[in-house]
Structure 1
Amino acid sequence: MTGSKKAAAAEAVKSDSDSRTELVRGAQRLLAQRPPSGITGKQIAKEAGIHYGLIYHYFESKDALFKEAMQQLTDEYIAHRDATVDRSIPLPRLPFEGHELWWRAAANFSADGGASYTSLGWTYPVMNHELDQILAHHPELSEFEAKAHIVREVCTNFGWMFFKETLARGMELSEEQMKELGHFISER
């Protein structure tokens, strides 16, 4: 293969990888806006700036794309938690700051009572990871105590993700006040 053919082949691989990445990112952005049932393949392609047919070139189905999108967000969130959480604290917070895309997407996936998670064979990896970590580091806590803590954190964060714009308008809070409030809720 000549140098120019090698360069063209390398560029095609890069472009191929970029297109796949853009589809995943586009799906992530849309999942942060609405439940998966409200997203079409054409909307994903438009959001990604990619031809619609490429979804099925890279993914077996739209659900496979959604699963990859959520898996990447979830892996990033869990890796961040593993690197930053002080596990000497029995019930550490599940902050959303810096991970709002994951929290919004997870909230939208949960909006249908978990049917979207079930359709993907999803097993709530963040909640289960957190439960495992709490119980491994604090055997003095009951499983119920750990689960109650996680439920409280998830409900607070999902509520914030779903209602923060409504609360800002309804309570006439400025963007600065909303940032301060978000930090307060995340650190409470």
Structure 2
Amino acid sequence: MTGIRGDGPIVRHDGKSNSRSELIRAAQRLLSQRPPSAITGKQIAKESGVHYGLIYHYFESKEALFLAAMEGLTSEYIKHRESTVDRSQPLPPLTFSGHELWWRAAANYSADGGASYASLGWTYPVLNHELKQILEHHPEVSEFEAKAHIVREVCLNFGWMFFKDTLQEGMRLTGDQMAELGNLISTA
């Protein structure tokens, strides 16, 4: 049963909404707004428009729902990188354009020092994928150089995700200026 994706809920071809997908998308949006420990099942139900009890019909726990949410965002981001990154460049940027939900959710998961990631049994797939790709395509780059590059990119992007609103206000930047800065940061 394939869904039709738009701005609204995923709808199956038979016209019925797909509650599981709606729960995942709601969890993704909420994870992009706050750490997982600050999200309740009731908030997920409200955000998704799905009855609270269905969370536990489709997922064994809230953490299992969060894992599905993060796996979906991560899969989309890695697929995007595989099709768009110029691997002739030894240390390509980890862009966030078009993947702000993943970056915000990853930043919120990281906010507690990694305990939330540990609860998922997370293996940092984007970071490890990127490390593997750099080392595979550029054996001249040391593992430490590649890791340092990834760390710098993550710190820059997490900072942008967390502080861009404050920076816009504090520096009196227009929306167009913020978009230009975001493009510069995302491709630097």
TM-score above 0.5? yes
Q: Which residue of 1 aligns with 2:100?
A: 100
Q: Which residue of 1 aligns with 2:42?
A: 42
* Contact 2:12–2:18, Cα closer than 8 Å, also in 1: no
What displacement does 1:12 show? 9.5
> Following the alignment from structure 1 to structure 2, what is the Cα–Cα distance between the partners of residues 87 and 130?
10
Q: Which residue of 2 aligns with 1:68?
A: 68
The CA RMSD measured in Å over matched residues stands at: 1.6
What displacement does 1:16 show? 7.3
Alignment deviations for residues 66-90 of structure 1 (CA, whole Å, 9 cap, x no partner): 0000000000000000011111100
Alignment deviations for residues 135-168 of structure 1 (CA, whole Å, 9 cap, x no partner): 0011111100000000000000000000000001
What displacement does 1:187 show? 1.4
> Following the alignment from structure 2 to structure 1, what is the Cα–Cα distance between the partners of residues 48 and 63?
16
Amino acid at match of 1:48: S
> Following the alignment from structure 1 to structure 2, what is the Cα–Cα distance between the partners of residues 115 and 17?
34
Instruction: Determine whether 1:114 maps to 2:123.
Output: no
Alignment deviations for residues 6-50 of structure 1 (CA, whole Å, 9 cap, x no partner): xxxxx9996776100000000000000000000000000000011
> Following the alignment from structure 1 to structure 2, what is the Cα–Cα distance between the partners of residues 67 and 168?
32
* Contact 2:96–2:103, Cα closer than 8 Å, also in 1: yes
Alignment deviations for residues 90-127 of structure 1 (CA, whole Å, 9 cap, x no partner): 00000001110100000000000010000000010000
TM-score by length of 1: 0.91
Return closer, same or farther for 1:185/1:13 CA change in 2, 3 Å cut-off: closer
Structure 2 unpaired stretches of 5+: 1-10
Return closer, same or farther for 1:15/1:34 CA change in 2, 3 Å cut-off: farther
Instruction: Determine whether 1:91 maps to 2:112.
Output: no
Kindly report structure 1 stretches of 4+ aligned residues shifted beyond 2 Å.
11-17
> Following the alignment from structure 1 to structure 2, what is the Cα–Cα distance between the partners of residues 88 and 48?
42
Q: How many residues align?
A: 178
Amino acid at match of 1:144: F
> Following the alignment from structure 2 to structure 1, what is the Cα–Cα distance between the partners of residues 16 and 136?
42
Structure 1 unpaired stretches of 5+: 1-10
Return closer, same or farther for 1:58/1:17 CA change in 2, 3 Å cut-off: farther
Q: Which residue of 1 aligns with 2:129?
A: 129
Q: Which residue of 2 aligns with 1:180?
A: 180
Answer 1 or 2: which has greater helix percent. Answer: 1
Question: Percent identity, aligned pairs only?
Answer: 74
TM-score by length of 2: 0.91
